[in-house]
Structure 1
């Protein structure tokens, strides 16, 4: 039996409770919270409780998400339909890293990006999974449990003109169709649930207002079916038209039609199990990200 008062004492005064939790070793969340002082308990209770349990499991040497490895194996071998027509792999594309590698590229949230992207004369631009992005510096990407903001991108972005159709890569059921209205949020957002070794989920963010006419909660979708269109600036959260495509091995405690699109760099071993690489489904060759 862990010595919970001693473990709880190690959390007192810690500015980054997530990292501190990772260092505790085997522990269960409920008795740990009961042993914490009021400030630490309130900070921990203010964030996603299943995320905290995933951190504790990883810190104890287990999988942060039970079955995360089995899901990666499943996604690497399951048949998938192309999400775009023409398929990205059938023509040129350009990688769009955000750390200054392309000196004249405007930010994705700058309307000048549209003109710049059109001038590249390629049908698709690719934003990177696992990339640290400085744009996520506003308070909505922070919480009380840590001084570290969530800055590591957990999806793959595909840039193309507003109105571009998105096709379902896998069979699934519509879990949610929601408009997330905060600035720099997803705008119109679709989440599908899929069968695998355990249920898993895909998220389609920054979509157009046509979404609600294409999908309703409980609908079954088939591979290749048009499920959404790229949204324009006024309907997609305030971004250049693109799809944010993300895979989730668990929805954690997020049940309102939204999900974290970026994670903490210091928790990447956990977040990368919660949200594995979407290229397991997109299946673009490595050169598309360079």
Structure 2
């Protein structure tokens, strides 16, 4: 059987094309996405072209035993040794906080998208609430978080959430350059969004700050240099942050894939969690909070 026929047979009528790509990456040496698309049956090729092509390449690399994000190791090494500025003042690590887990650990806690959350959080009498990286959240199990390559919804949280009052100032943890200042207006999207580009050990990476206030465009201009510790944003209120209680979604991207519109995936597939962990490492590499801060 030729490589092309092997690819076509493996992909034909399969609901989960991500899983097939990973298997093909392990089976066929030096497999490329171009080769897959050329050999794929028409319907499966259409489905694959409807997905971020960088993500598909990352899945193939994972099947080949490589890091899904080529610069992951360099990034992790850089973050392990570079000083960082606090995202908030007072620093989260020097103030009280509570973990805001969403899978029943706090039965009385309203959903983050329920306006009753504001009153509930105020009664906790702490400066910060923390939503964890890698948490599986049922709020994302809708068509908005699906794609054509698989019926699986993206439900694993790729950032760390920090809840605090609207208009709380946000500061840059690292020096960088403003890559995107956008307003992502879909319900339960980021609302006002900032993405910074950074350099690390000769490679670039990005950080994302979602659910911000309308002050963002006056604070950050695309192409501007940002210093560590510089005021870059404020937390947005419900009407400007995508329809959530005031908080920031903070995320690292080792690879922007083919996302060029000032947005990025905030949740990933459970079945591809190893891939997403490479693309979007734990933001606590920058926040550097004790693990128990994310436990109830």
TM-score by length of 1: 0.98
1:182-261 matched pairs, under 5 angstroms: 182-197=186-201, 198-261=203-266
> How far apart, CA to CA, are the structure 2 residues paired with 1:13 and 1:31?
18
Q: Post-superposition shift, 1:238? A: 0.2
Equivalent of 1:79, from 54, 78, 83? 83
Q: Matched residue of 1:234: which SS?
A: coil
Q: Matched residue of 1:227: which SS?
A: strand
- Give the structure 1 partner of residue 137 of structure 2: 133
1:122-201 matched pairs, under 5 angstroms: 122-197=126-201, 198-201=203-206
Which portions of structure 1, spanning 4 or more consecutive aligned residues, are displaced by more than 2 angstroms? none
> How far apart, CA to CA, are the structure 2 residues paired with 1:4 and 1:131?
38
Give structure 1 stretches of 5+ with no counterpart: none
> How far apart, CA to CA, are the structure 1 residues paired with 2:291 and 2:58?
30
> How far apart, CA to CA, are the structure 1 residues paired with 2:10 and 2:127?
52
Q: Deviations over 1:90-141 (max 9, x none)?
A: 1210001100100100000000000000000000000000000000022110
Q: Matched residue of 2:154: which SS?
A: coil
Q: Post-superposition shift, 1:8? A: 2.3
> How far apart, CA to CA, are the structure 1 residues paired with 2:71 and 2:191?
31
The number of residue pairs the alignment matches comes to 290
Q: Matched residue of 1:9: which SS?
A: helix
Equivalent of 1:280, from 280, 285, 288? 285
> How far apart, CA to CA, are the structure 1 residues paired with 2:256 and 2:8?
27
TM-score by length of 2: 0.96
Give structure 2 stretches of 5+ with no counterpart: none
